[in-house]
Chains A and B, each alone.
Chain A
């Protein structure tokens, strides 16, 4: 209020003073005014002059445009009087006035003016004091800055708008100044994405922030950033890099960072701006998808997918393999039935799926190579989020082996069922005390039908004493005592007759529960047969004893007989021979030649009989007596016999050819007798040969050694070969060759006793060969 009255006072003073001076300076002023006025009017800025009280003395054209008032309306009035100044600027105006009064300029200051039309305009104003003392004036220069202000305001608003966008973005935006190496902006989402507030993150600095990046990713990230920096402003300077960065609390998170590099006008990179988005879930989902796809691909089950037209869109390896295709390309894009061959059922499946149905079942199919397959098919339709079918998916499981196994099992089961039904033994399965299975035979055996037996407790079918015996056995079995798996039990039929059975009992599992498997064999007949066999055996033994005794008696008799023959039969012969000889000696004179000849005949007959007896005894000796088995050197034996023969008949020239070292297994005494006979035979029948030759050797006959004695004697007619080995059989008369005809029979008996064989080959006049093997 005080200020106001002072201004009013000054104004009236100024007015009076200005009027008094005016006349003196009028001429000069007018001249100056004319020039200045012209120039001032041209300026775009408003120029005005006022006195120290603020009363306008002058205003140019621009001032008129700025205020909306004409100069006439303003000159002589102060700011206040003209109503130009809004009240909020009054204090500021007073301050300017004070400074101006002290001779000091002000500004530029921004203030508002109220125009004549009431609009407010922003102006930038500077004041300059001109002159001193009472003549001092103030020149003001003002510029309308409303446009700029508006722009600034709009800019501010826009910035605010964008900031709010950034602040509310789910992504985290950051700006890294390349000049300072510091983050100069980090959006608030940093808290959500990384667990740091923007301030915290900025405080971390770029170095620390880089250390949060996963070591596996850091190089890739830096490479990208460096590449971006090398680009110019005109290039595309943005690139999305995916990397892991460590959340303050949650560990590493996957981020997609849309990075761009800011360049200044001279293409120097000044900042890196990034936009981080958390893609961890997406990554996880991708990974999961990848794993699932991998699982699908490597599934042992064949899997195929098709579009809704039935064209194959996916097959896994197992699928290619199962259907006998060479590669996926053979199937992809082809209709389903290319893979499924011409199987009608499979067409039905595809049809069902086209109609948005699923299919689950087993069927027989053919591979590409024609091989039969049994498969289990599970088919279904995949729908999109709005429920429209988009794909079919089928899994095929090769169940050929299982089918075959089932078939085998079925056949096997049938075989066993038939076996169980047709076997002559009774078979039943007991669970608890009830029969849960019984074959027909088992029921028949006891005089029941299967229906009567099934499900009945055993005690209803059998008399109590037998049941208690069975139960006793079962109790022992359950206690773990050693119980025979098979034992005999006397049973009673429904009609009360009894019979003997043999039970074979084992503990088995039947329908998942422990049970007794019981095989019942009617052994009545067998028992009877066994009894019969035992009786027969006893009889037989008795008979054997009797026979043996008889045989022993016969043997003893035979021995006694042979002994008697040996002793007694020869005694009379000796008498006959002896007394005949005495007659010949003592009564030689009373006998004529004929008598002497008769006596000689008596003698030779008795001597011949002596030989016969001796040979017969020899033959019987070969048959009797025990045989030894030892290694016998036949060659050495033959050699010894040949030497003896030579010594007995030194006058004969006989060549012996004996293959050495032939050793056989047998009874030495008997083999010696055989060889003696054979060699003596050969010796005898070569008697009339000038150069006799006797050979002993062996040949191989299919791995068996065959010995032979060969001579070049008189031989024999093969017609009579079968008579050679008979006792007392002779092919030559005694006048030709002496002998009893028992020698070869003895040899044959010896060879036979060794389990061997003997045969002969020969021809009349061409010698004979006797072969034998042992």
Chain B
């Protein structure tokens, strides 16, 4: 379980802190990689930019993706991930404040695996994070790892 990484894409530091606390509180102790905008998320995934030197064979077990992000928004990140051979099978959970129908439709259309709306009530949020971690990191069988094409 420990070698499974979670990629959290979240620009709001409060939300980041709360999410990390909720994970910790629920004994989800996996490594959490936090990207604060879409560009950083993509850099990480494709080992480019500031993450150019990372091991590109290591991919997160699940990506928790906020939609409203600076620079490149969540939907764009999702699109890029899904169009790239190396990342297209990665489980992606949309974790957002938005209840907008078009956001849900767009996300699922682009291949999101799950869509979770962050509740205001922190207790409820905690429960959601617990179930999320349990499901994606324990119950869910991840797709076979795709070897990155050597370019």
Contact = CB atoms under 8 A, between A and B. Distances in A.
Interface of A: 562-563, 566-568, 570-575, 577-582, 603, 606-607, 609-610, 614, 617, 621
A574 B68 contact: no
Interface in B110-139: 118-123, 125
Contacts of B122: 574, 577-578, 580-582, 603
26 contacts: A562-B100, A567-B68, A568-B68, A570-B97, A570-B118, A570-B120, A571-B15, A571-B97, A574-B18, A574-B118, A574-B119, A574-B122, A574-B125, A575-B12, A575-B14, A575-B15, A575-B18, A577-B121, A577-B122, A578-B122, A578-B125, A581-B122, A607-B120, A610-B119, A610-B121, A617-B100
Contacts of B54: none
B120 A606 contact: yes
B12 A614 contact: no
Interface string B79-117: 000000000000000001111110000000000000000
Which residue among B15, B97, B100 has the maximum number of chain A CB atoms within 10 Å of its CB? B97
Nearest to A569: B97
A695 B119 CA distance: 33
A567 B67 CA distance: 9
A621 B121 contact: no
A578 B68 contact: no
Given A566-B99, A567-B68, A614-B99, A607 B14 contact: no
A566 B101 CA distance: 11
A580 B96 CA distance: 21
Contact of B98 (A563, A607, A610): A563
A567 B96 contact: yes
B21 interface: yes
Contacts of B97: 566-568, 570-571, 574
B126 to A, nearest CB: 8
A574 B120 contact: yes
Given A577-B121, A578-B125, A571 B12 contact: yes
Nearest to A613: B120
Nearest to B121: A607
Contacts of B15: 571, 574-575
A601 to B, nearest CB: 14
A742 to B, nearest CB: 14
A580 B122 CA distance: 9
A521 B68 CA distance: 69
A578 B14 contact: yes
Given A563-B98, A574-B97, A610-B120, 5 more contacts: A573-B120, A574-B118, A574-B122, A579-B14, A581-B123
B100 A574 contact: no
B101 A574 contact: no
7 smallest beta-carbon distances between A and B, as pairs: A610-B120, A578-B122, A575-B14, A581-B122, A578-B18, A567-B68, A570-B97
Which residue among B67, B100, B118 has the maximum number of chain A CB atoms within 10 Å of its CB? B100
Contacts of B120: 570, 573-574, 577, 606-607, 609-610
Interface in B51-76: 67-68
A607 B124 CA distance: 11
Nearest to B18: A578
Contacts of B118: 570, 574
A571 to B, nearest CB: 5
A378 B4 CA distance: 131
B76 to A, nearest CB: 15
B100 A563 contact: yes
Nearest to A608: B120
B18 A566 contact: no
A617 B97 CA distance: 12
Which residue among B15, B101, B123, B125 has the maximum number of chain A CB atoms within 10 Å of its CB? B123
A578 B122 CA distance: 5
A582 B25 CA distance: 11
B151 to A, nearest CB: 36
B140 to A, nearest CB: 26
Contact of B21 (A582, A606, A609): A582
Interface string B14-57: 11001001000000000000000000000000000000000000
A581 B22 CA distance: 11
A574 B96 CA distance: 12
Which residue among B15, B98, B125 has the maximum number of chain A CB atoms within 10 Å of its CB? B98
B115 to A, nearest CB: 14
A603 B119 CA distance: 12
Contacts of A575: 12, 14-15, 18
Contacts of B68: 567-568
A747 to B, nearest CB: 19
A610 B68 CA distance: 18
A577 B21 CA distance: 14
Contacts of B101: 621
Which residue among A573, A575, A579 has the maximum number of chain B CB atoms within 10 Å of its CB? A575
B4 to A, nearest CB: 25
Contacts of A573: 120
B116 to A, nearest CB: 13
